[in-house]
Amino acid sequence: MSILYEMYETVIGLEIHVELLTKTKLFCACSTAFGGAPNSNTCPVCAGLPGSLPVLNRKAVEKCVMLGLALHSDIARCSWFDRKNYYYPDNPQNYQITQFYAPLCTGGYLETEGKKRIRIREMHLEDDAGKLLHRGKKTLIDYNRSGVPLIEIVTAPDFSSAEEAVEFLRKLREILLSLGISDCKMQEGSLRVDVNLSVKPAGAEENGVRAEIKNVNSFSELVPLAAFEKKRQVDLLAAGGRPVQETRGWDGRTQTTFFMRRKETPRDYRYFREPDLPALALTDADIAAIRVKMPKSADAVRQEMMERFGISAAEAAVLQKEPSLYALFCETYALQPDPKRILNRLLQEGTAILRKNGQTWEDVRMRAVDFAALLELGVSGRISLTTEKALLQRMFSESFDPVAYVRSQDLIQQTDEGELMETARQVVADNPASVRDYLAGKDRALQYLTGQGMKALAGRADAKRLQDCIREVLEDLT
């Protein structure tokens, strides 16, 4: 990037829409299930028919309060809903029910992994719009999504790079998942991000005029989006122009933003108090009861894992993201309390096996009792590391008793110290040339002698223990 672009700083704020994991919509009893036949989950309320009246979903309120508590926000004891008036085909009521004047949660913050504190301006409840399906020259409307409960999270413009915004979104997604607030499936529209981006001269106090960019379908798109939009705005300023407040779209195919419309102002939406809903009143006791229901935060769960099992933060993070893996780990730990060995097998060999087989941890058929038995065979030296890894790969796809199997296949290693020493003496006696090489300082000869011993034992010995025996015999010759 040229010196011109380095003379300007990027300023980013986010508006995040989160669909809630509730069984019914925000103001009616219609299902929120994704993927139903078009317009199958609708009723007079979410279809915007005259005379229909909304009834607030208690679970949606609880989930918004939970998120507010997790993000250190102030929870309003009295809030209410407002009408945001606009016409668009996916909005059957010609208005959206939202919280403009009195949001449920205000303030708060989220600290990123880099320890930067990102301020939250507000979080409020609102209902979602329907979905437009473009088919050539025709546009179809599916109102199944109309009325699905949303939390809109508005951050302060505290991000100075797209990378910081991505870090924030990943941490927020982790919280949403751990609290059961949303499934965060961007491909299904349950987590949507709008980016407010402006530029300003480096070191300036006042931010520039922002553009709001929509249609961001993945976190990875934020980096090229920010790079293009910064260049567009800086080029405009360098040419003597002035950015205007506008809404733009992101085209992932061309990696560019495009003009959609001039940015509306609150006056354009003619907000007024929603007349069909009473004020939402919460007591301290209500909030305390919701706090008690909250699952442990992701950070708390990881810390608990680290303290209980003596594992690293990275290992705890992997276990937390894979519930099936964590369940297998805990069940195995109860039988074979060696967390390092368990994780070594699961995270190294196990991950490679899954990648090779095109599987996930949910596909693994291995029982914890069999896995623990396999680990014990390896720890005791009764089977070789090669055999242990081979059996592990097979156990990922089918369930069987490893102890019975190694006995039936004669895979038990030779562990008798006397027999190992006898084999070592025989190998030394049969290979005088390699013995002379070893005594002359050629360490590779010891590897050859060990291989000959393993061959004599048909691979049924601990190679390290056999090598120690051979070394001991050789040292007696010096």
Q: Which residue has the tokens 């061959």?
A: 455
Question: How far apart, in Å, are the Cα atoms of 218 and each of 12, 103, 221, 222?
Answer: 17, 27, 6, 8
- Alpha-helical runs (H) found in 179-322: 222-238, 266-269, 284-293, 298-309, 313-321
Residue 338 neighbours by CB distance under 10 Å: 14
Distances from the Cα of 442 to the Cαs of 184, 346, 425, 437, 473, in angstroms? 60, 37, 19, 5, 16
**Phi, psi angle pair for 281, to nearest 5°:** -110, 130
Contacting residues for 323 by C-beta, under 8 A, at least 6 apart: none
Read off the tokens for 430. 């049969």
Residue 434: domain span: 417-475
Distance of CA 309 to the CA centre of its chain: 22
> Who contacts 115 (Cβ-Cβ below 8 Å, separation ≥6)?
none
Residue 86: the pLDDT is: 92
Q: Do residues 320 and 302 touch, judged by C-beta distance below 8 A?
A: yes
**27 Cβ neighbours under 8 A, 6+ residues apart:** 45, 46, 54, 55, 56, 57, 97, 127, 147, 277
* φ, ψ for residue 408, nearest 5 deg: -65, -30
DSSP 172-215: HHHHHHHTTS----GGGTSEEEEEEEEEEETT-SS----EEEEE
- Claim to verify: residue 385 and residue 438 sit in the same structural domain: no
Note whether 219 and 126 are same-domain residues: yes
Q: How many helices (H) and strands (E) does the chain have?
A: 18, 17
Measured between alpha carbons, how far is 152 from 97 in angstroms, rounded to an integer? 12
DSSP state of 101: S
Name the token pair of 121.
């301006």
Domain boundary among 289, 307, 340: 289
Residue-wise burial string across 355-387, b where 16 or more C-beta atoms lie within 10 A, e elsewhere: eeeeeebeebebbbebbbbbbbbbeebbbbeeb
DSSP assignment of 413-443: PB--HHHHHHHHHHHHHH-HHHHHHHHTT-T
**Residues 80, 279 contacting (CB under 8 angstroms):** yes
**Quick one: 191 and 313 in the same domain?**
no
What is d(CA 19, CA 152) in angstroms, rounded to the nearest whole number? 9
Query: Does residue 334 share a domain with residue 244?
Result: no
Which pTM value belongs to this model?
Answer: 0.72
Residues 93 and 231 in one domain: yes
Q: Are residues 379 and 279 in the same domain?
A: no
* Sequential pLDDT tens for the chain (478 residues): 578 888 899 999 999 999 999 999 999 999 999 988 999 999 999 999 999 999 999 999 999 999 999 999 999 999 999 999 999 999 999 999 999 999 999 999 999 877 899 999 999 999 999 999 989 899 999 999 999 999 999 999 999 999 999 999 999 998 998 899 999 988 888 999 999 999 999 888 889 999 999 978 889 899 999 999 999 999 999 999 998 999 999 998 999 999 998 888 888 899 999 999 999 999 999 999 999 999 887 788 889 999 999 999 899 989 988 888 999 999 999 999 999 999 999 999 999 999 888 888 888 889 999 999 999 988 877 777 778 888 898 888 888 888 888 888 777 765 566 777 888 888 888 998 888 888 888 888 888 888 888 888 776 677 777 788 888 888 877 6
Q: Do 346 and 207 belong to one domain?
A: no
- CA-closest candidate to residue 406, choices 393, 390, 420, 418: 390
How confident is the model at residue 451, as a pLDDT? 86
34, 52: one domain:
yes
Same domain membership, residue 325 and residue 403: yes
**Same domain flag for 444 and 316:** no
Domain ends where: 268, 289, 310?
Answer: 289
Assigned token pair, 359: 């599987």
User: Residue 229 is which amino acid?
Assistant: E
What is the rounded distance in angstroms from the CA atom of residue 153 to the CA atom of residue 73? 11
CATH of the domain at 423: 1.10.10.410
**Residue where a domain terminates, one of 237, 266, 289:** 289
What confidence score (pLDDT) does residue 338 get? 93
Structure tokens at 213: 């960019």
SS3 (DSSP) at 129: coil
Q: What are phi and psi of 106, to 5 degrees?
A: -130, 150
Q: Looking at the structure, tell me whether residues 267 and 404 fall in a common domain.
A: no
Q: Report which residue type is found at 261.
A: R
Domain count, the chain: 3
**What's the token pair of residue 242?**
């002035």
166 and 315 co-located in one domain: no
